[in-house]
Structure 1
């Protein structure tokens, strides 16, 4: 089972273990960590700062560099407070020029120790349901051209390849079941 949960500083221990498992901040696609002033710091305070960042970055900004969005953490089971956190999913409610070119509506990452267990595919399906609830009929999901695991997850969720641009595979997925 896999669940999407709202970022919550009360889950700081599991969050800390999760971010420590990634090879570095750039590996945490979907997390929004690039909006921090530095890499995420494991611990209670680091988690609280991360949660604050997700809240601050969710609305659109006047400069148009951010769009309205919702951040989720991926939990390994049913989303209970004691579930292990295994990843990130970021749902953008609309696309700007950058997101249309390479970022898409949904970005996600699963921690290395939890990969190859189906979490990415299940989390993406849950993200598609969240997008449908927002009235988004089709979502764009992208991955690096050489990311076979992400490509497979996207295709299992109904992704139809539109093209490859600058090393990014661009898939459209209908949210209508």
Structure 2
């Protein structure tokens, strides 16, 4: 049974295993990993986890709640809830997530999106913007299962994206 947890240094080895499976890239949106983050060493990993924890308590538009999707002793994905209406939120959405390749098509993204929508509801958010690559049919189905209403399809610096709004009080799954 999966759980959402706050990022933890205790899961260093499990996270590294997931990261290696993914390979480099921006597809790990839910992890909040920046190109400048040094996660190749335990000290760098500890600094990164500390940065994620600080982002979860910041005030205003910079706040972001990071969660890891864990099943047993495996980190199977990450999901982030961005608060506010910053330029970043307007570009990439309130919610970003990723599931490691070996754990896809098992319903984990749908489950995690439902769990983070519940967290958004608890935080007082009325609706959330979720953005995915237009060709990512798995994410399209996941978002639509939770009542996502397509706002637009736009060309971005990373490719064509679908923009959905979800009313957090009306989750469809």
Structure 1 gap ranges (5+) = 77-81
Say which of 77, 80, 95 aligns to 1:90: 80
Please state how far the C-alpha of 1:37 moved relative to its aligned partner. 1.8
CA RMSD of aligned residues (A): 2.0
Structure with the bigger percentage of strand: 2
CA-to-aligned-CA distance 1:49-104 (integer Å, 9 cap, x gap): 3212212434558xx9x62111110112xxxxx5311011110111212321x311
TM-score, normalisation: structure 2: 0.86
Separation (CA, whole Å) in 1 of partners of 2:45 and 2:100: 16
Unaligned runs of 5+ in 2: none
Contact 1:95 1:104 in 2 (8 A): no
Task: Tell whether 2:120 aligns with 1:121.
Answer: no
Count of residue correspondences? 166
2:67 is the alignment partner of 1:72 = yes
Q: Please identify runs of 4+ aligned residues in structure 1 that moved more than 4 A.
A: none
Q: Does 1:168 align with 2:168?
A: no
Given that residues 70 and 92 in structure 1 are in contact (C-alpha distance below 8 angstroms), is that contact kept between their aligned partners in structure 2?
yes
Alpha-carbon distance in 2 for matches of 1:24, 1:91: 22
Report the TM-score when normalising by structure 1.
0.85
**1 CA distance for matches of 2:150 and 2:54?**
33
Structure 2 equivalent of residue 40 of structure 1:
39
Native 8 Å contact 2:38 2:44 kept in 1: no
Q: Which residue of 1 aligns with 2:122?
A: 133
More moved, 47-56 vs 142-151: 47-56
